[in-house]
Amino acid sequence: MGILAVCSVRADESPEARARATEAKMTDDERFSLIVSVMGAVPSIGVPRDRRIPENVSNMSAGYTPGVPRLGVPALQASDASMGVTNPGYRPDDKGATAFPSSILVGATFDPGMARQVGAAIGREARARGFNVQLAGGINLARDVRNGRNFEYYSEDPWHTAVFGAAAVNGIQSEGVISTLKHFVLNCNETNRHWLDAIIDPNAHRESDLLAFQIAIERSQPGSIMSGYNKVNGTYVSGNALLLNDVLRGAWGYKGYVMSDWGAVPEWQFALAGLDQESGLQMDVRQWGGEAFTDRLKAAYADGSFPKARLSQMVQRILHAIYAVGADQWGPAPAIDLSAHNEIALEGARQGIVLLKNDGVLPLATGKPLRIAVIGGDAQEGVISGTGSGAVLPVGGFAGVVKIGGPGTMGAARNLYLFAPSPLAELKKALPDAQFEFDPGYTTAEAALLAKRSDVVIAFGTRIEGEGFDLADLSLPQGQDAVIDAVASVNPNTIVVLQTGNPVSMPWRDKVKAIVEAWFPGQAGSQAIAEVLAGKVNPSGRLPITFPVNLAQTPRPELSGLGTPWGTPVTIRYDEGAEVGYRWYAQHDATPMYAFGHGLSYTSFDYGKLKVRGGDTITATFTVTNTGKIVGADVPQLYLTNAAGESRMRLLGFERVQLAPGASKTVTLKADPRLLARFEGTNGLGKWRIAKGTHRVALGRSAVEPVLTAEATLKGRLFGS
């Protein structure tokens, strides 16, 4: 008998009603089995197959929760993550998945439509493998330029991040696959993350990281929220009643379930504080010496300290996600068009690569027999990837893997991963008349010899960043800064292509003619890089994270706890509060190296006819014109600069606009009123207040390049929650 045939609850009822009805029919054993998930076997890190995974399940991954077939409830099978369907050794016969660009690159497209397309493609690939939960939707704010996981997140701005996170979730869930938004919340550094206490003013938190979650949840209704490893203001988020019960449920009305991160649950009491599912049980055993939501929770149930009503609620929330997303209504698996998915990965990379600097050297002349030196960065092999649970094995395998290692549980996952084809091969294709020579950048002296006898140098600078590690400084590792300096000293036509997930210090910046930030660009990254350098693609990415001059300029010149041994309690104060990223630089009158929103093009754009309306919120209308000679995309950005006398910088809106030469477009942006407000409350509960009076806005090319300014009057009001 098929699953649907035995399901007696009607599919046209609301997910709430269906969840209540199904849960009511369950036995307690069934209820308890739904509120935990176990990892699949990973022999390489010593995780054997768990007895709770039935013999006939071959598609293992990060999470498995048995279903309840008699009630039509499917098993929950979860895989990572935001850049493709991962397989860190779980499925020996899996041939790999599409490795999409890193989320920070997708954020740099400033095109939420791209995040949706990537999400939908990931959803299809997940579904084809039988995964109905995708652990994607990383939306922590890039608060600290040392955070090793910023490549898995979209930006430093709450609005931008929320819009992108929601688009990704909508894409994934459109395929009937439950998505998470993670890691709730303020998991903005990796340093000793299991013992990390993130300190922040609760109101400022509501205006920043929590606002990103709030808006993303409203726009996408993710089936699940993953609670992070860290504490906030002294209490673990996974057991934080204030954040999970009062804010997420009470103030926001979130209806799905909260799953923990893998190894984030030391105590069964987290079930009383709003956590609905304990994930990755084996990691909790390793981390805290036992499972929390199995025998210990059952004992609490037996002695009455864990109430039946709460158990039912946890189960109903999980069922709600299944029904709302349609994970119980799957037809046959979709056919996967890998070349169409490669096109999405390629188009994303084309749009998210950022041209930071160009003193006229780019685009490279295609018709000339230029002698081009390609130096360093494994550019003869491939482009690199971020590491950790989000790293995707591409179809056909990696072009190369070199073990890096490091302390802590993520050391084993820290590798140099290379995606073919190589930038060198793609450059040869894009510039057929040029002559190429490659030097690995192994020694500065050899690299300089080749640079000296070349017309142009393309130097690649790479830095592996990943889960479990914060960066100790902003340099490029293994002497790459010295190599770039050496080649730029002997060849004035040096172009640097960076593959990093965060800003780097670029001590050679004034010596080189052009700098391109390619992030971790995914499996089609080499082609996109070559097309941008050769001018086949007009660069259009914009920085979703501020590049500071140095660490001294950032809110935390020193990162507390950095380098302390695994297991050391760490307190990180996010005293910048809501003034994250570009807001901080504006507040401190500091000019960064490259500002949030910055990115050059091979054409030029102008803005005109800015009209701003006030009232309940700000609505701005303006025109964008391509004033150059080639087609290109621009990203006009609208910022609040002053709120009723208070200097305050907030991105209110943006739009990516593609224009033919000479063409214009009228754009209208309407601000979410919370971006104009301050949160007033106690412990993070309260209301939003817009101050009555004149509000000033700037329409700009970046956070530091206003082009037009205007004013509008807003009504004073208190609203929302």
How far apart are CB 519 and ligand BGC at their closest, in Å? 19
How far apart are CB 216 and ligand BGC at their closest, in Å? 16
Return d(Cα 123, Cα 172) in angstroms, integer: 4
**What track of x and - describes contact with ligand BGC for positions 13 through 52 (by CB under 6 A)?**
----------------------------------------
Return d(Cα 90, Cα 58) in angstroms, integer: 9
**What track of x and - describes contact with ligand BGC for positions 208 through 247 (by CB under 6 A)?**
----------------------------------------
How far apart are CB 179 and ligand BGC at their closest, in Å? 11
**What track of x and - describes contact with ligand BGC for positions 378 through 417 (by CB under 6 A)?**
-----------x----------------------------
How far apart are CB 262 and ligand BGC at their closest, in Å? 4
Q: Which residues contact 438 (CB under 8 A, 6 or more apart)?
A: 373, 374, 375, 379, 380, 424
* DSSP sequence for 584-632: HHHHTT---SB-TT--B-SS-EEEEEEEEE-BSS-EEEEEEEE-SSS-E
Counting residues that bind ligand BGC (by CB under 6 A) gives 8
Peptide bond into 503 cis (omega under 30): no
How far apart are CB 243 and ligand BGC at their closest, in Å? 18
How far apart are CB 164 and ligand BGC at their closest, in Å? 17
Q: Strand, coil or helix: what is 718?
A: strand
- The answer to whether the CB of 638 falls within 8 A of the CB of 694 is no
Return d(Cα 271, Cα 259) in angstroms, integer: 11
Of residues 389 and 603, the one with the C-beta less far from ligand BGC: 389
* DSSP sequence for 172-219: HHTTT-EEEEEEETT----TTGGGEEEE--HHHHHTTHHHHHHHHHHH
Of residues 30 and 276, the one with the C-beta less far from ligand BGC: 276
Q: Which residues contact 231 (CB under 8 A, 6 or more apart)?
A: 196, 197, 198, 237, 240
Instruction: Extract the tokens encoding 687.
Output: 């209301």
- The answer to whether the CB of 91 falls within 8 A of the CB of 66 is no
How far apart are CB 62 and ligand BGC at their closest, in Å? 4
Return d(Cα 505, Cα 568) in angstroms, integer: 29
* φ, ψ for residue 208, nearest 5 deg: -130, -100
Of residues 62 and 595, the one with the C-beta less far from ligand BGC: 62
Of residues 413 and 450, the one with the C-beta less far from ligand BGC: 413
Task: Enumerate residues 261-320 that contact ligand BGC by CB under 6 A.
Answer: 261-262
**What track of x and - describes contact with ligand BGC for positions 243 through 272 (by CB under 6 A)?**
------------------xx----------
Of residues 36 and 135, the one with the C-beta less far from ligand BGC: 135
How far apart are CB 488 and ligand BGC at their closest, in Å? 38
Which of 80, 284, 465, 485 touches ligand BGC (CB under 6 A)? Answer: 80
* DSSP sequence for 445-489: HHHHHHHHT-SEEEEEEE---BTT---SSSSPTTTHHHHHHHHHH
How far apart are CB 264 and ligand BGC at their closest, in Å? 8
Task: Enumerate residues 96-135 that contact ligand BGC by CB under 6 A.
Answer: 135
For residue 71, how many C-alpha atoms fall within 13 Å in the half-sphere facing its CB? 21
Say whether residue 439 binds ligand BGC (CB under 6 A). no
Of residues 469 and 596, the one with the C-beta less far from ligand BGC: 469
H-helix or E-strand spanning residue 516: strand 514-517
Say whether residue 691 binds ligand BGC (CB under 6 A). no
Of residues 160 and 182, the one with the C-beta less far from ligand BGC: 182
* φ, ψ for residue 680, nearest 5 deg: -115, 120
Task: Enumerate residues 131-160 that contact ligand BGC by CB under 6 A.
Answer: 135
Say whether residue 182 binds ligand BGC (CB under 6 A). yes
**In angstroms, how far is CA 29 from the centroid of its own chain?**
37
Say whether residue 471 binds ligand BGC (CB under 6 A). no
Of residues 153 and 607, the one with the C-beta less far from ligand BGC: 153
Return d(Cα 471, Cα 463) in angstroms, integer: 10
How far apart are CB 116 and ligand BGC at their closest, in Å? 21
CB-based burial label for 139 (10 Å; 0-12, 13-18, 19+): buried
How far apart are CB 333 and ligand BGC at their closest, in Å? 23
Of residues 261 and 465, the one with the C-beta less far from ligand BGC: 261
Of residues 244 and 515, the one with the C-beta less far from ligand BGC: 244
For residue 234, how many C-alpha atoms fall within 13 Å in the half-sphere facing its CB? 4
Of residues 146 and 350, the one with the C-beta less far from ligand BGC: 146
Q: Strand, coil or helix: what is 278?
A: strand
Catalytic-labelled residue, pool 80, 197, 261, 481: 261
- The answer to whether the CB of 128 falls within 8 A of the CB of 337 is no
Among residues 702, 693, 600, 714, which one has the least CA distance to residue 649? 702
How far apart are CB 274 and ligand BGC at their closest, in Å? 19
Of residues 410 and 484, the one with the C-beta less far from ligand BGC: 410
Strand order, beta sheet including 400-403: 383-384, 415-419, 400-403
Concerning whether 439 is annotated as a catalytic residue, the answer is no
Instruction: Extract the tokens encoding 147.
Output: 């955070």
CB-based burial, 614-629: b 16+ in 10 Å, e otherwise: beebbbbebebbbebe
- The answer to whether the CB of 544 falls within 8 A of the CB of 564 is no
Of residues 62 and 691, the one with the C-beta less far from ligand BGC: 62
Q: Strand, coil or helix: what is 91?
A: coil
How far apart are CB 101 and ligand BGC at their closest, in Å? 18
Return d(Cα 275, Cα 267) in angstroms, integer: 11
**In angstroms, how far is CA 48 from the centroid of its own chain?**
30
Catalytic residues: 261
> For binding to ligand BGC (CB under 6 A), which residues are involved?
62, 80-81, 135, 182, 261-262, 389
